[in-house]
Amino acid sequence: KLVCTYCGDDKFEQNIGSVLPQVYKVGDVCKFRVMRQDYTTGQLSLRDDLNGLNHFPVDLGKRRFKRFERINCRIQDVVDGRLQMEYVADTAAATPFFSFEELISLPVAAPLERHGVVSRLLGEAPFGEARMMRENRDVSWVRAALEVIDCNLPHWVGGRLRGRMVWFERLRAFVISLIEESPYLNRCDAGTSVDDNTPLRGQPSCRPPRHRG
């Protein structure tokens, strides 16, 4: 989720200069996700998933990073509405990964995967970012995939209310199983923790319309 300002004419943009001093303090070490890097200039585009903010351009020297890699940076200053940061090597133990095999071993997922449903679904174009995150062993790939499903499900299942409710209930059962019957949440660090606005609470944000009889 991203924090944006409405600019009129159906346009939104991030005007984050006024909120930076409220969110970041000099000396804090924060976690960011690398969205892209210009290997010619070294400039990075970083996303703060916890606060919903994008930062560009960011100069961390000549170090190269992988796309969607999560990195730690120390806040040095806020100048002209932009953060000045330095890279901080992560010396702590690596966050355990949550694999695809663990996902499909959940009781609610196993019957679907016997018919290849889960594998085929994750192979579709909208899940490109989630796949890239999984390849980079980013534990939050599951959350990214669920958010895609959460927002696209009404379109995918069509206009029949009963069919939509069945699939919403399946999604809800899957999320509950993920939370209660797997170690997924225990493997999420502070930068990928679950908040009240994600489908990991078991309440899809793109809800079906209320039936009017």
| In contact, 121 and 127? CB cutoff 8 Å | yes
Cβ count within 10 A of residue 205: 12
Task: Give the model confidence (pLDDT) of 136-167 as tens digits.
Answer: 778 888 888 888 887 877 777 666 666 667 77
Task: Give the model confidence (pLDDT) of 75-134 as tens digits.
Answer: 998 888 889 999 988 654 455 678 888 888 888 887 777 767 677 778 888 888 888 888
